[in-house]
Structure formats: structure tokens, C-alpha cells
Structure 1
């Protein structure tokens, strides 16, 4: 293979890798719908409190998980209607498969029935979490 062709292929590969990295960075921490996921009661080891639960999936070696843990703990501490639960996937790979968690940290916003309403892969934005909680609680208030 001529050197010019090899350099052209290497340049194209680097360009594709950079574009992929930019796309992944843009999607990191963005709020998505929960889809049809419903968490099982035995996996939600929190006392039943009206409102919602923020569930963080993490691992022991996750570098970004402590930051997310502090953020979610702070939110739940300041709001009576928000619970926080952290699930360490290090020894619970079955939960990663069951709930389609492909990276850590991943955060779910779960209602009282266990329905996953929103999910964030990566480090979520505080504003997006607050908006997600507000929309759920506003909807619950309207139903009552």
C-alpha cells in the first residue's frame, strides 16, 4: 500500500474517531425517556415515600459516580418527595442487563409504581433532573 493511501486512511480513521467522540460527549448526561422499563420492588430498596426515586447505577471503579452521588444526595436531602438509591453493579451484573444499563453512572427517575420515567447516561445536568422531577410531581398533583 502506498504511503499516501495509508496516511489518507489513518486521517479518515482519526476524523471518524473525533466525530464519534464529539457525538458521545453531546449525548452524555442528556435526559431520555425511560421507555417501557419498570423497576421491580425488590430492586428498589427504599421505604415507600410518595413522590419519585432517583436511582443511580454505579461501579466501584467509576470515576464520575461520586460526583453524581453527591448531586443526587443533595437533591433528595432538600426535597421530601424525592428518594435516592444507589445500586452498585460491580456484583449485580444481572441488574445491568435487566435495566439495559450500558455505562456508569446511569441515573433513573422512577415513580412510586416503579415505572422508569426518565434516564440519564453519564453525568446528568442538575437542571434536567429538576425539570424531570417537577414534571412528574406536577402530573401527580393534577391527577389528585
Structure 2
């Protein structure tokens, strides 16, 4: 193989790897709606804590996950700032059965459940605060969305 062909091959590989990396990065932390919402109970995710009456943020993490502690803090702050919202952190380190059941291929992975325990959305990677708040507003309904969103605007006394 001559030098120009080798250089073209290397450049093509770099271009393909860059595009794949950008696509992967763009999908991280994005909320994806679940087409067929299944109903969960706390025992289904190995938790003894009850789900929230308005919504529940179920975070799947592991001991070795570098982004899980930050995600845990974020979701705890969101749940503490919203009436009826609970945050449950499920450690998958020794629970491969749960990872397989819920198709968790990366941590953190977050499920957003409504008050009845139906899975409405899934987030692969560290979620974005604004996206989670917007989705919780959507679950709460249009009449509460305006009040809740206004309380989280920058500069408001409740902004986090």
C-alpha cells in the first residue's frame, strides 16, 4: 500500500470515528419517551422505599460509575424541590438481574415514572436538569407546569 492510500485510509477512519463519537455524545443525557409504559412497584427495582405520589426518578448506578454521584445529587435536589416526587437510587453492582431486566447498558440510567408507577421516559447518561424538570411538568399537567416552571427560572428564589 502506498503512502497516499494509507493516509486516505487513516483520514477516513478518523472521520468515521469522529462522526460516531458526535452521534453518541449527542444522545447522552437526552430524555427518550417510552412507547409502551410498564407499571412498576418499588420491589421491581429492588427498593424498600415507596414511589412518589406525583412522580419517581429511578436512577440505576454502580460503585464504579464516575458520573453517578453527580447525577444522584441532581436528582435528589430535583425530588426535594418538588412535592410528591421521589428519587430512588438502585445500585446494580451486584444486581445483574435488574440490569438485564431493564436493559441498562450504561450508568447512570434514569427512569422517570408517573404517580401510578408507569415508566414514561428513560435517560441514558447524566440527565440535564432542565429536561427532567420539563418532563416532570409534563407529567404534572398543564395547569401546574406554569407555576412549577416559573419557580425554577434563574433569579427566582426557588431556582436550583
TM-score, L = length of structure 1: 0.88
* Contact 2:61–2:89 (CA under 8 A) maintained in structure 1: yes
Matched residue, 1:43:
44
TM-score of the aligned structures, taking structure 2 as reference length = 0.80
Partner SS, residue 134 of structure 1: helix
Structure 1 unaligned blocks of 5 or more: none
2:106 to 72, 94, 103: 103
Check 1:49–1:121 CA distance in 2 against 1; reply closer, same or farther (3 A cut). Answer: closer
Counterpart pick for 1:66 among 56, 69, 92: 69
Superposition deviation, residue 35 in structure 1: 2.8
Structure 1 stretches of 4+ with a deviation exceeding 6 A read none
- How many residues are matched? 141
Aligned-pair Cα RMSD in Å: 1.9
Displacement of 1:80? 2.3
Unaligned runs of 5+ in 2: 145-160
**Does structure 1 conserve the Cα–Cα contact (< 8 Å) formed by 2:58 and 2:111?**
yes
Cα 1:83–1:116, aligned 2, differ >3 Å: closer, same or farther? same
| Alignment partner of 1:130 is 2:133 | yes
Tell me the alpha carbon deviations over residues 102-143 of structure 1, each in whole angstroms, 9 at most, x when there is no partner: 21111110123332101111111111100111111117x8xx
1:18-62 Cα deviation digits (max 9, x unpaired): 111111111111111123252542124222541110011111111
